[in-house]
C-alpha cells in the first residue's frame, strides 16, 4: 500500500495534478483501488483536490500534492540543497561577508550555489542553437528537481517544473527560487524570466526565455 502511495506522490510531484483515471492508468491498478489510496491521502492532508469542469457529465476531481505532500517528496532535494549550500558558503571571499547584513550574505551564498550548479552541468550543454541548449539544460536539471519540460511557443521558450524541490526553504526566502533561475540562465547563456512559482500559489514554476 505504501508503495502505491509513494508512486502517487512521485507522479504528482513530477507531472502535476491528475484525475483518478489518469493515476490508475499510470500506476496500473483499478480506479477503485487508487481511489481508496487517494481518500486516505486526502484525510492525511497529503493531497489537495479541485473540481475540473468537463464538456459532458459531472466535473472531474483533480488531485495535487499539498504542502505536506510536497515535503514528503523532497527529502533527497533538501539533502542536495544542504550539500550545495555549505561549499557555496566556504567559497565566498571574506570581503563578501565582513560587515554585511545577513540577508546580503544569504543572497551571495545562493548566487554562489547557482554558479556551482551551472559549473557542474555545463559539460552536458553543448548545443550551439538556443533551442538545443534549452533541451539539454532541461534534461540536465531534471534530476536536480529544477526543470521537467520545455516547449517552443513561437516567440519564446517556456520551461516548467510541476513540483517544488524544497518548498519550505522557498517559502522562507525567494532566494532559493532566484538561485534556480540563475542556474538556468548561466547554463543557457541567455536571459531567463521566472513568471510563476508554486510557493506563490501557481500550479507550477514557469520560466520564459525570449528567442
Supply the DSSP symbol for 155: S
Low-confidence ranges of the chain (pLDDT < 50): none
Q: What is the pLDDT of residue 101?
A: 81
Q: What is the pLDDT of residue 74?
A: 64
SS3 47: strand
Q: What is the pLDDT of residue 38?
A: 94
pTM greater than 0.95: no
Return the closest-CA partner of residue 51 out of 19, 5, 24. Answer: 19
Using one digit for the tens of pLDDT, what is the confidence trace for 37-92?
A: 999 999 998 899 998 887 887 888 999 888 788 777 666 666 777 778 878 878 88
The structural domains of the chain, ordered by start, are: 2-72 (1.10.10.10), 75-210 (3.30.1380)
Q: What is the dihedral of CA 76, 165, 187, 112, to 10 degrees?
A: -80
Amino acid at each position: 500500500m505504501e508503495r502505491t502511495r509513494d508512486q502517487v506522490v512521485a507522479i504528482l510531484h513530477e507531472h502535476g495534478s491528475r484525475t483518478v483515471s489518469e493515476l490508475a492508468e499510470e500506476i496500473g491498478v483499478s480506479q477503485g483501488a487508487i481511489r481508496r489510496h487517494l481518500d486516505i491521502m486526502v484525510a492525511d492532508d497529503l493531497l489537495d483536490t479541485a473540481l475540473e469542469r468537463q464538456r459532458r457529465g459531472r466535473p472531474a476531481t483533480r488531485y495535487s500534492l499539498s504542502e505536506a505532500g510536497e515535503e514528503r517528496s523532497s527529502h533527497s532535494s533538501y539533502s542536495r540543497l544542504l550539500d550545495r549550500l555549505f561549499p557555496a558558503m566556504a567559497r565566498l571571499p571574506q570581503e563578501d561577508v565582513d560587515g554585511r547584513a545577513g540577508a546580503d550574505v544569504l543572497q551571495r551564498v545562493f548566487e554562489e550555489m547557482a554558479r556551482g550548479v551551472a559549473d557542474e552541468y555545463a559539460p552536458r550543454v553543448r548545443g550551439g542553437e538556443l533551442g538545443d541548449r534549452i533541451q539539454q539544460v532541461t534534461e540536465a536539471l531534471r534530476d536536480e528537481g529544477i526543470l521537467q519540460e520545455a516547449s517552443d511557443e513561437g516567440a519564446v521558450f517556456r520551461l516548467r517544473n510541476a513540483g517544488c524541490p524544497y518548498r519550505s526553504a522557498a517559502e522562507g526566502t525567494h532566494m532559493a527560487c532566484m538561485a534556480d533561475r540563475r542556474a538556468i540562465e548561466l547554463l543557457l547563456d541567455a536571459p531567463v524570466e521566472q513568471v510563476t512559482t508554486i510557493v506563490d500559489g501557481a500550479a507550477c514554476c514557469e520560466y520564459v526565455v525570449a528567442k
